Amino acid sequence: MSSLFEGLNIATRGLSASQLGINVTGQNITNAGTEGYSRKRIEQNADWRRDGSYGQMGFGVEVYSINRVRDQFIDRLVNDESTRYGYYSVKDASYARIEDIFNESGASRSALNSLLNDFWNGWDDVSKNPESAGARETLRSSTESLVTQFHYLTTQLRAYKDTMNDEIEARVHKINELTAGIYRCNMVIAASENTIGNKANDTRDQRDKMLQDLAMLTDVDYYEDEHGVITVSSNGQLLVSPAKNHELIISRQEFTERDGHQYAKVEVRLDLTGTEFRPKQGELRALMDVRDVDIPKYENYLNDLAQSLITEVNKIHQTGYALSGLSFIDFFDSDPNNFSAANIKLGQAIKDDINNIAAGVGGKVINIDHMRVIAPSTPPSPTDPIPALTISYTSAPPQAVSLHMQDLQPPTSADGSSYPQFRHINKGTLTIEIEGRTLQEGLDYYVDYQNAEIIFNDDNGEIAAAAMNGTLHLTFDYNATGYAGPGDGDNALLLSQLRNSLVMQGDVFGKSTQTINQFYSGMLGQLGTERNAAGAGLNTRAFALQQLMVRQNEVMGVNLDEEIASLIQYQHTYQASARYLTTINTMLETLLNM
């Protein structure tokens, strides 16, 4: 009779195993489209005991586990490749955005390269028709467009750099969410597998999915201990430990660029140690590189371009003559604070009057070296080899000191020409020294060109004393007279030829090797090369990641054909176990009715 009851036990186990197999198969089928789901399978073996008469005696089937189907080696490869893919996806998108900002791919009339050519062509037209108001107005208009484009490019690059801060913050918040989720999964897995003795398969799926998402954002290194808990780090910095998840914290620091522009920069630190967090790969590292390296590099390109344009154009323009006969006029504003792409501007004299465009060459640059300043009681001598200026006081000394530059008439220069009055010179290169110390314009003095005066701030009487003892000296460069008249366009021709002058990109010997246009074209070429490299890297990483994910899906993914076959198998074993149970039941009834 015991063998019949044992048969009932065998049948019951068979029914239970088949029912569990059907349930697991149903779970697989219904989650065939669930991202990150790993197919499950039941692990079973034959239960037995030893019988003295017959040897091993079967007790039916025993289900001892339900396991996920995963390959940890492939999972690690997928995570590593996800990190590289995340890095190149951001880099490729960023270079595409920078290219869109410059907009040099088509024939856009607003592109900087096109506007530079219009600028040079404008000078060429003025050189051919120096008296033409139309040519001068076209040049001024094309210059304003060029200046506006410099401003636009800088504004767009800075705005894009600011968005990088927002993107970095978003990625940091996402990293914190994922590490917190991984830690919660660690706790569930440890409690389930170590206390109950079951496999926390679905929780492990969730944790693996979060780990892969984390790998897209930053490089990750992880290992699992004997309790099923994983420890996660990035570039040697701990993100998840068995005790807790370690959050990243963000702060904004204010910085000022050389042109005075202020901007904020998001800094990321590890809450555990307070040290800066800078991953090796992933989306977060790419965003940091774009903000801190790539965009500033092209900002510097534009600044160098604008500075060279201002310097070289002004250098030639100052030596020329306007229609009024004035010289030393700045075409671009020469304030050092405006020597950048963000602040470049047309000179005020050109804005006010197109006749101030110095198209004629005329005379040559004359240098008055070390003009001596003397006291009012000592008038300058006509035979003095060093040009002398008489000093006067606008109030009781030493509160304020004035130099009246009309005194710069005698004596004549070395070539026999007279020095012009200071009021007839728009601006020269003026240097004032006291016993070897150079005074600073705007701080120690300012120049009133209209009234031909230099006004000193002389609170301590140092300047007055230097004038008294003859140690106050001035150096002044200006253009001598000799303007050929309104039909002179030679200076405009020189400026148009600046298009082909090597004024940028010095070599190891300090010799310039590129024109302004070549420098800008080289910058665009580098941008295109970097965009292509990022695109090629992204395509390579995308293909590698796709292949690895195909292999991963072959292992963990649900195959509906296999699941239907398993469903039919479990259905048949369930029916057979039920038939076996019915047979044993009939045998017991027969035995009991005897």
pLDDT tens by residue, 294-304: 999 999 999 99
**Residue range(s) defining the domain that contains residue 439:** 364-481
The CA distance from 482 to 396, in Å, is 41
Q: Lowest-pLDDT range, 27-31, 96-100, 384-388?
A: 384-388
In a domain, 64, yes or no: yes
392 domain-assigned: yes
What is the phi/psi pair of residue 68, to 5°? Answer: -75, 155
Q: In angstroms, rounded to a whole number, what is the distance separating the alpha carbons of residues 276 and 236?
A: 12
DSSP 189-237: HHHIIIII----HHHHHHHHHHHHHHHHHS--EEEE-TTS-EEEEETTE
Reduced to 3 states (helix: H, G, I; strand: E, B; else coil), residue 141 is helix
Q: What is the mean pLDDT of residues 269-281?
A: 91
Structurally, the chain folds into a number of domains equal to 2
Write down which residue in 460, 481, 502 finishes a domain: 481
pLDDT at 301: 95
| Lowest model confidence (mean pLDDT) among 84-93, 97-106, 451-460, 520-529 | 451-460
The answer on 572 and 468 residing in a single domain is no
**pLDDT surpasses 60 at 477:** no
Q: Specify whether 577 is located in the same domain as 471.
A: no
What pLDDT is attached to residue 290?
Answer: 96
The answer to whether residue 400 is domain-embedded is: yes
- 527 vs 594, more confident: 527
The whole-angstrom separation of Cα 505 and Cα 313 is 17
380 and 465: one domain? yes
Q: Taking the model in full, what pTM does it have?
A: 0.75
Judgement on whether residues 472 and 566 belong to the same structural domain of the protein: no
Higher pLDDT: 59 or 254? It is 254
pLDDT tens-digit series, residues 318-375:
888 888 777 888 999 988 888 999 999 999 999 999 999 999 886 444 454 445 555 5
The pLDDT of residue 564? 93
Residue 551: inside a domain, yes or no?
A: no
pLDDT at 401: 41
> Residue 421 domain-assigned?
yes
In a domain, residue 387? The reply is yes
Q: Is residue 302 in a domain? A: no
The tokens of 208 are what?
A: 């693996």
Residue owning tokens 């339900």: 66
Region of poorest pLDDT, from 100-114, 203-217, 356-370: 356-370
Average pLDDT of every residue of the chain = 83
Among the listed ranges 133-137, 390-394, 524-528, 557-561, which one has the minimum average pLDDT value?
A: 390-394
Residue-by-residue DSSP string for 379-414: PPPTT-SS-EEEEE-SSSTTSEEEEEGGG---SB-T
| Same domain, residue pair 477 and 576 | no
Residue 26: per-residue pLDDT: 93
Tokens of 250: 């963000």
Average pLDDT over residues 166-194: 94
Choosing from 430, 455, 481, the residue where a domain stops is 481
Residues 6+ apart with CB under 8 A from 82: 212, 215, 216, 545
In a domain, 512, yes or no: no
- As beta bridge partners, residue 263 has 255
539-577 pLDDT tens trace: 999 999 999 999 999 999 899 999 999 999 999 999 999
Please give the average per-residue pLDDT across 313-319, as a whole number: 91
Q: Which of 481, 501, 524 is the last residue of a domain?
A: 481
Q: Once rounded to an integer, what is the mean pLDDT over residues 406-427?
A: 39
